[in-house]
Amino acid sequence: MALAGLFLLLFLPVHLIINLMLLSNDPEPFNRAAHFMASFPLVKIFEIILILALLVHAAWGVYIQICNWLARPTAYASGNKAPTVFFSKFMIWTGLSVLIFLVLHFFNFYFIRLGLVPGDPKDFYSVAYTLFSVPAYNYIYLFCFALLGLHLYHAFYSAFQTLGLNHRIWSPVVNIAALIYSIVIPLGFAFISVAIWQFR
């Protein structure tokens, strides 16, 4: 699960860089990048691994959560007041919210490319602009990226711990990197959405 999660963490900056091309007035760079991602053989292999990583990560996460619920059949009447990072206790819920958003995202883009949903796979630029012009879509988008940020913060440093990669000096650096990553990546996506929604 940690390995699949780390693989997904590697993909998000690539996606963000491509999305930044949406800020250009010219649809060509973004559409060309989207086409490259859809056609270049090496990227296609990467795509299969990515989809598998997503499925393994989500399915394993749900399975583990069910086992964890079964391990405590009776809840505490006085709650659990252990001083921990608050959102680390809600990974299943932030994760499932992001998964629901991904299904929506797949219907809007990926399934068009696969020919499962009607649309023009050569002009995702226009598809993105149409979506970002709908306020409700922006609210959902921003909310889901806020949840993704909270998910990523715990996921980033947690993956290293699960893989046994802890170090007296490097683990605090990983924690700082996790904080920076979980703020910068979602903020980048949110910035693009707000910029198109409010200023175009």
Partner 1 sequence: MKFTLKIWRQKNAEAKGAFVTYRVEEISPEMSFLEMLDALNKKLAAEDNDPVAFDHDCREGICGSCGMYINGHPHGPVPAVTTCHLSMRHFRDGETIWIEPWRAKPFPVIKDLIVDRSAFDKIQSAGGFISVNTGAAPEANSIPVRKKDSDEAFDSSICIGCGACVAACKNASAMLFVSAKISQLALLPQGRVEAKERVRAMVEKMDELGFGNCSNTGACEAECPKEIKLTNIARLNREYYKAF
Tell the smallest beta-carbon distance from residue 75 to partner 1 (Å): 7
Which of 45, 165, 180, 183 forms a contact with partner 1 (CB under 8 A)?
165
Distance CA 134, CA 33 (A): 24
For partner 1, the closer CB: 41 or 83? 83
Distance CA 170, CA 176 (A): 10
Rounded to 5 degrees, φ, ψ at 124 are -70, -20
Tell the smallest beta-carbon distance from residue 174 to partner 1 (Å): 11
* Under rule CB under 8 A, residue 180 binds partner 1: no
Residue 156 near residue 181, CB atoms below 8 Å: yes
For partner 1, the closer CB: 42 or 67? 67
Binding to partner 1 (CB under 8 A) within 19-78 occurs at 64, 67-68, 70-78
For partner 1, the closer CB: 133 or 166? 166
**DSSP secondary structure of 8-49:** HHHHHHHHHHHHHGGGSS-HHHHHHHHHHHHH-HHHHHHHHH
Which of 42, 48, 82, 169 forms a contact with partner 1 (CB under 8 A)?
82
* Under rule CB under 8 A, residue 85 binds partner 1: yes
Give the list of residues 6+ apart from residue 134 with CB closer than 8 angstroms, or none.
Answer: none
Handedness of CA 116, 120, 124, 128 (dihedral sign): negative
Going by C-alpha positions, the residue among 118, 65, 111 that lies closest to residue 90 is: 65
**Per-residue contact track with partner 1, 143 to 162, x per CB under 8 A?**
-----------x--xx--xx
Tell the smallest beta-carbon distance from residue 85 to partner 1 (Å): 7
* Under rule CB under 8 A, residue 16 binds partner 1: no
Which of 42, 48, 164, 199 forms a contact with partner 1 (CB under 8 A)?
164
- Give me the numbers of helices (H) and strands (E) for the chain, helices first please: 8, 0
Tell me the residue type at 191.
F
> Which residues make up the interface to partner 1 (CB under 8 A)?
64, 67-68, 70-85, 88-89, 91, 154, 157-158, 161-166
